[in-house]
């Protein structure tokens, strides 16, 4: 079992942490905007009685990212009065399918995954104690990176097992309901959006492609592409003239390399996008978080028909070989739970 966890972490954990970071930053922006406008956003899900509200989960994720943001000059609010720990369970929701058995194995907090059905739709859920996943405990736990990583890993594992059985619509992490009635009500209220999501996702898979480049190789290619710009000899100049010439050549080299990088990323994305049903370009990942080497020029997700996945693998290899002289490397991962292609009109969905 420890070996299995280690292999899983080596393959999936960097991507999951990067996704969690991106979501946390986005949620922080929303929370700050809401605070500035004096508004509160729409609920993520049905609030659990005496426990977590999905809006509180959003604020908690924002708090988890707050250490990355500049300190606010505003005065700190007085501490909230102590509250009694909530009792009972809530229902942690993973995804929605069009029927079928829940995936085998445990979910978050080690509880078995259970189905909640409503008029042809099935949500997979598991029970979580409100003493840990209630509103206040959740706020605290979302600031604990080890806790967040463990929960994200457990959530993702359920989604991956569900994905093996067919099309599913993933739900946001920390979507928690009070009871089965709350889950059924979500399925009824979001029916139109869920049907649209199934139409988009059925028979397709999400794959991720990262384009990485070695900056030194890119600059060598840039210099070779415009040798005239670097012909002038530094040694023939005075000390001050040589310094200014070196600075100018360095700037020209960076600009040429940047243009090559942009053209490279646009070419790779255009070729992959032509092959895919849909595509989403995400911000480059933090190398310290994801563990990648080199400069990330493209971090994109592609929705591909299942029948075309084999050709996608071939195309990625071809593009990597074509641009090897620029120090390029393409990293293909998947299939992933299709977070990037779920319609976002309804706040309870991913």
Q: Is 273 exposed, middle or buried (0-12, 13-18, 19+ CB in 10 A)?
A: middle
Residues in Cβ contact with 171 at an 8 Å cutoff, skipping those fewer than 6 apart: 45, 93, 94, 95, 96, 123, 348, 349, 350
In this structure, what token pair is assigned to residue 231? 């012909």
In this structure, what token pair is assigned to residue 5? 């966890």
Q: How much is the average pLDDT of 59-79?
A: 37
Say whether 6 sits in a helix, a strand or coil.
Answer: helix
pLDDT category of residue 198 using cuts at 50, 70 and 90: very high
Q: In this structure, what are the phi and psi dihedrals at residue 300, rounded to the nearest 5 degrees? A: -130, 155
pLDDT of 338 > 80? The answer is yes
List Cα–Cα distances, 318 to 89, 226, 265, 294, 305, in angstroms: 51, 26, 15, 20, 19
pLDDT of 2 > 90? The answer is no
Mean pLDDT of the chain, nearest integer: 76
Residues in Cβ contact with 131 at an 8 Å cutoff, skipping those fewer than 6 apart: 85, 86, 87, 137
Say whether 295 sits in a helix, a strand or coil.
Answer: strand
Q: How much is the average pLDDT of 149-174?
A: 93
pLDDT category of residue 25 using cuts at 50, 70 and 90: very low
Which carries the bigger pLDDT value, residue 180 or residue 4?
180
What is the structure's pLDDT at 154? 94
HSE toward the beta carbon, residue 69, CA cutoff 13 A: 17
What is the structure's pLDDT at 260? 84
pLDDT of 171 > 90? The answer is yes
Using one digit for the tens of pLDDT, what is the confidence trace for 7-21?
Answer: 555 556 556 555 555
pLDDT of 68 > 60? The answer is no
Which carries the bigger pLDDT value, residue 82 or residue 201?
201
Which carries the bigger pLDDT value, residue 214 or residue 279?
279
> What pTM was computed for the model?
0.69
pLDDT category of residue 4 using cuts at 50, 70 and 90: low
Q: How much is the average pLDDT of 104-109?
A: 92
What percent of the chain is modeled with pLDDT above 70?
66
Beta bridge partners, 92, equal 126, 176
Question: Sign of dihedral through CA atoms 14, 132, 97, 193?
Answer: negative
Rounded Cα–Cα distance for residues 300 and 263 (Å): 16
What is the structure's pLDDT at 296? 92
Which carries the bigger pLDDT value, residue 3 or residue 54?
3
Say if CB 182 and CB 91 are below 8 A apart: yes
Say whether 254 sits in a helix, a strand or coil.
Answer: helix
List Cα–Cα distances, 338 to 296, 307, 319, in angstroms: 22, 17, 24
Which carries the bigger pLDDT value, residue 229 or residue 127?
127
pLDDT of 315 > 90? The answer is yes
Q: How much is the average pLDDT of 162-186?
A: 93
Using N-to-C axis directions, what is the helix angle for 215-225 and 239-275, rounded to 10°? 110
Using one digit for the tens of pLDDT, what is the confidence trace for 90-104?
Answer: 999 999 999 888 998
What is the structure's pLDDT at 228? 55
Using one digit for the tens of pLDDT, what is the confidence trace for 238-288?
Answer: 555 556 666 776 777 777 888 888 889 999 999 999 989 999 999 988 777
């Amino acid at each position: 079992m420890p070996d299995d966890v280690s292999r899983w972490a080596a393959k999936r954990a960097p991507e999951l942490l990067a996704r969690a970071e991106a979501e946390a930053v986005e949620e922080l922006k929303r929370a700050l905007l809401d605070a500035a406008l004096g508004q509160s956003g729409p609920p993520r899900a049905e609030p659990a009685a005496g426990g977590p509200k999905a809006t509180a989960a959003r604020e908690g994720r924002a708090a988890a990212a707050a250490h990355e943001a500049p300190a606010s000059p505003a005065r700190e609010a007085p501490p909230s009065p102590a509250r009694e720990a909530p009792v009972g369970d809530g229902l942690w929701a993973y995804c929605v399918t069009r029927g079928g058995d829940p995936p085998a194995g445990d979910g978050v907090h080690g509880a078995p995954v259970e189905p909640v059905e409503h008029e042809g739709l099935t949500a997979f859920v598991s029970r979580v104690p409100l003493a840990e996943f209630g509103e206040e405990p959740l706020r605290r736990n979302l600031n604990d990176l080890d806790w967040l990583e463990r929960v994200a890993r457990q959530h993702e594992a359920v989604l991956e097992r569900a994905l093996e059985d067919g099309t599913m619509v993933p739900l946001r992490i920390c979507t928690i309901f009070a009871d089965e009635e709350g889950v059924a009500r979500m399925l009824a209220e979001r029916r139109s959006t869920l049907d649209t999501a199934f139409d988009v996702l059925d028979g397709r898979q999400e794959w991720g492609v990262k384009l990485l480049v070695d900056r030194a190789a890119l600059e060598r290619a840039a210099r070779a592409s415009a040798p005239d710009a670097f012909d002038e000899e530094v040694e023939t100049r005075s000390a001050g003239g040589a310094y200014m010439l070196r600075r100018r050549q360095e700037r020209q080299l960076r600009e040429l390399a940047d243009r090559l990088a942009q053209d490279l990323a646009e070419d790779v994305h255009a070729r992959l996008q032509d092959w895919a049903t849909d595509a989403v370009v995400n911000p480059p990942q933090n190398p310290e978080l994801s563990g990648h080497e080199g400069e990330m020029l493209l971090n994109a997700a592609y929705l591909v028909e299942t029948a075309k996945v084999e050709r996608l693998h071939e195309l990625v290899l071809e593009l990597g070989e074509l641009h090897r002289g620029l120090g390029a490397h393409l990293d293909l991962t998947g299939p992933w739970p299709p977070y990037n292609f779920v319609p976002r009109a309804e706040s309870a969905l991913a």
